[in-house]
């Protein structure tokens, strides 16, 4: 099979590498990809994710078996609709179904209508009314920009003043809409499922760490590290999540004439009252994917093929634990320098894996070219062993010109 993966980050690197490892694949292309992927036998294509016409032409010329969409922007722009109209196989939701991520207001209204547990919330298009609501509700409180924001459109405000500052920043946009919701208390959990017309097929659980600093302090990022699985999620709790949240959501999307297929990411807070939805995404999470696929024993190329052909995918997971730590540019998620040389990561220990994201090449050396530069991950028998191994290795490397959290997997 020839397979095209759309995107350029660490998520796409991990998907592509898993596909390269499959005996079923002949060529694995990534558009546009990043230069760090080349070492793993991934073929980079100089086409941007939103250039649908060029992507269509490439898929036809190279006789691509199917396409997998990594990031949210092309899904929200309707790439699945365009490919399907051309008779081409592509994994992901339609533009209408991708609204579950593209609009937080849509997702909240869906959950209200179908009684899917989530936080108390209100949507506003007027700044003064939003500020008035915050003053009444008090803090802590969560402020969410309605549209896509690459994982950074959320402020967990600890004071009313911080909430008002976030609101003013969002309403500086001409057509602003904001969702304000109660601050849920508990432990977070990312729960990803493959969804086809034939059913829902769960992956194992994981926990992302959004805040930039140790102790979950500071502004939100796209994700600074992750571990999998989440020990608090028992078999009984997972069944509860499926029965009260995931299945009703998929059925609700059918009822709304927006049937969802692809990867449904359900971000949860495990509260004392039970699991509640924080957010939905319409694709693989980043950085969750990089650790989840480390533990997938099944052939990912076959899994994708089965999903696209409404066959039952065979999912087998290793009985292990994985921890991944993001290496970021100093200053991220604010202003940061680019072009900082990376240490040599070509001869890695067998149990350490690197997935590149914001990188470029300068004089045959990899340099930083983004906020989140790469993710390093390892897998072991337990989370504690994986965490110790990963941080022990990081201490041997010179990442002094970069930043990473030191507490991933400790909670």
Look up tokens 């949860």; give the residue: 268
Does residue 79 share a domain with residue 145? no
Query: H or E segment at 166?
Result: helix 160-170
The residue among 12, 52, 64 whose CA lies nearest residue 300 is 12
Task: Report how many domains make up the chain.
Answer: 4
Does residue 301 share a domain with residue 189? yes
Contact criterion met (CB below 8 Å) for 297 and 316: yes
Residues pairing with 372 in the sheet: 328
CA distance 267 to 394: 29
CATH code of residue 134: 3.30.1490.20
Does residue 262 share a domain with residue 369? no
Does residue 358 share a domain with residue 256? no
pLDDT number for residue 176: 83
CATH code of residue 86: 3.40.50.20
Does residue 72 share a domain with residue 30? yes
Contact criterion met (CB below 8 Å) for 67 and 2: no
In a domain, 234, yes or no: yes
Peptide bond before 318: cis, by omega within 30 degrees of 0?
no
327: domain range? Answer: 321-404
pLDDT tens across the length of the chain (411 residues): 999 999 999 999 999 999 999 999 999 999 999 999 999 999 999 999 999 999 999 999 999 999 999 999 999 999 999 999 999 999 999 999 999 999 999 999 999 999 999 999 999 999 999 999 999 999 999 999 987 765 557 899 999 999 999 999 999 875 689 999 999 999 999 999 999 999 999 999 999 999 999 999 998 899 999 999 999 999 999 999 999 999 999 999 999 999 999 999 999 999 999 999 999 999 999 999 999 999 999 999 999 999 999 999 999 999 999 999 999 999 999 999 999 999 999 999 999 999 999 999 999 999 999 999 999 999 999 999 999 999 999 999 999 999 999 999 996
pLDDT number for residue 188: 95
CATH code of residue 252: 3.30.470.20
pLDDT number for residue 172: 87
Residues pairing with 321 in the sheet: 380
How far is residue 157 from each of residues 160, 163, 165, 253, measured CA to CA in Å?
7, 5, 9, 31
Does residue 78 share a domain with residue 162? no
Sign of the CA dihedral running 229, 233, 238, 241: negative
Contact criterion met (CB below 8 Å) for 295 and 204: yes
Structure tokens at 225: 């590290």
Query: H or E segment at 196?
Result: strand 187-196
Contact criterion met (CB below 8 Å) for 230 and 390: no
Neighbours of 161 (CB within 10 A): 11
Give this prediction's pTM.
0.94
In a domain, 102, yes or no: no
In a domain, 274, yes or no: yes
Does residue 166 share a domain with residue 197? no
In a domain, 164, yes or no: yes
In a domain, 410, yes or no: no
Angle at 62 between CA 58 and CA 67, to 5 degrees: 70
């Amino acid at each position: 099979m020839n397979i095209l993966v759309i995107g350029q980050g660490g998520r796409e690197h991990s998907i592509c590498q898993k596909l390269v490892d499959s005996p079923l694949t002949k060529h694995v292309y990534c558009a546009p990809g990043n230069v760090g992927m080349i070492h793993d036998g991934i073929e980079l294509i100089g086409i941007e994710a939103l250039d649908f016409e060029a992507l269509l032409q490439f898929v036809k010329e190279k006789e691509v078996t199917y396409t997998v969409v990594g990031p949210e922007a092309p899904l929200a722009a309707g790439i699945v609709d365009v490919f399907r109209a051309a008779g081409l196989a592509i994994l992901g939701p339609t533009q209408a179904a991708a609204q579950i991520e593209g609009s937080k207001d849509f997702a909240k209204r869906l959950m209200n209508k179908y009684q899917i547990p989530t936080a108390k919330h209100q949507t506003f298009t007027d700044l003064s009314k939003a500020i008035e609501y915050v003053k009444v509700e008090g803090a802590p409180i969560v402020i969410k920009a309605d549209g896509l924001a690459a994982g950074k459109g959320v402020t967990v405000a600890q004071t009313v003043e911080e909430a008002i500052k976030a609101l003013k920043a969002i309403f500086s946009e001409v057509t602003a809409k904001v969702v304000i919701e109660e601050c849920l208390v508990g432990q977070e959990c990312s729960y990803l499922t493959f969804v086809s017309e034939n059913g829902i097929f769960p992956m194992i659980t994981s926990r992302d760490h959004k805040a930039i600093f140790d102790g979950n302090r500071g502004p939100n990022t796209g994700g600074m590290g992750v571990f999998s699985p989440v020990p608090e999620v028992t078999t009984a709790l997972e069944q509860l999540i499926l029965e009260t949240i995931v299945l009703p959501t998929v059925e609700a999307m059918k009822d709304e004439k927006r049937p969802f297929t692809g990867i449904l990411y359900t971000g949860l807070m495990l509260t004392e009252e039970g699991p509640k939805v924080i957010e939905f995404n319409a694709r693989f999470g980043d950085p969750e994917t990089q650790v989840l696929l480390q533990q997938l024993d099944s052939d990912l190329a076959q899994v994708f093929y089965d999903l696209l052909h409404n066959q039952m995918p065979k999912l087998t997971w290793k009985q292990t634990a994985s921890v991944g730590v993001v290496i970021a540019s100093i200053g991220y998620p604010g202003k940061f320098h680019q072009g900082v040389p990376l240490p040599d990561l070509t001869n890695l220990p067998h149990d350490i894996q690197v997935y590149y994201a914001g990188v470029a090449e300068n004089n045959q050396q990899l340099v930083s070219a983004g906020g989140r530069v790469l993710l390093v991950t390892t897998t072991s028998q337990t989370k504690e062993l994986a965490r110790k191994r990963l941080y022990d290795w990081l201490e041997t490397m010179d990442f002094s010109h970069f930043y990473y959290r030191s507490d991933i997997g400790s909670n």
